[in-house]
Amino acid sequence: MGKIQKGGSVTMSEAYGLLIDYEYCSGCESCVVSCKEEHNYPVGKWGIRLYDDGPWTIEGDRFNFNRIPIPTDLCDLCADRTATGRGPICVHHCLANVMTYGPVKELAEKLAAKPKQVLWVPQYKPLEAKGKFVSQNEKRHRAAAIEVKAVDHFQNTVHRADDRVELVDIKKVEDK
């Protein structure tokens, strides 16, 4: 398996990409979720997104509706994974098995053999796409660990680890 070069130019013989057969993409978004988890992208940032094309009427009772996974500028084809011989996380987790990783030259031959496929060769641009993450919510909440002792009755309670924390006393509720 090849490596993607972060920055600089890549020749056709060195380039690796993703061939996506969107005719059979189920739209499950497992590629989106696995990528976000693998790279720990914050809210609003993705390495791959799923776009809807349709539904719209072609003619009569025929409709066009496609789900198309599209790598973003944050996609580096999982350079750390591919450097160790594993495929990109999106390919690994694709439930419909419609994503193929490999040399662009080989993928282009497969692309020519079947319609409704796209070949992506992501160009890793972390500074332009990612930039520095700055939270828009300065009063965001963090989860707090709590210890709950056995009680006869418990109702849903929210605990926060910020300046709005209030002590919550969970008392045993007497049966009425």
Residue ranges of domains in the chain: 16-127
Could you report the per-residue pLDDT of 129-174, keeping only the tens digit for each? Answer: 555 555 555 555 555 555 555 555 555 444 444 454 455 555 555 5
- Name the one residue in this structure whose structure tokens are 């926060």: 160
- Name the one residue in this structure whose structure tokens are 């409709």: 63
Query: Does pTM top 0.85 for this prediction?
Result: no
Q: Kindly report the number of other CB atoms within 10 A of residue 4's CB atom.
A: 21
Q: What is the pLDDT of residue 7?
A: 42
- Fold that domain 16-127 belongs to in CATH: Alpha-Beta Plaits (3.30.70)
Q: Identify the DSSP state of 107.
A: H
Please check the confidence at residue 125 and state whether its pLDDT lies above 50: yes
Please check the confidence at residue 4 and state whether its pLDDT lies above 60: no
Q: What is the pLDDT of residue 76?
A: 87
Dihedral sign for Cα atoms in the order 20, 38, 34, 84: positive
Could you report the per-residue pLDDT of 74-88, keeping only the tens digit for each? Answer: 888 998 899 899 999
Tokens, residue 133: 């993450």
Q: Kindly report the number of other CB atoms within 10 A of residue 129's CB atom.
A: 15
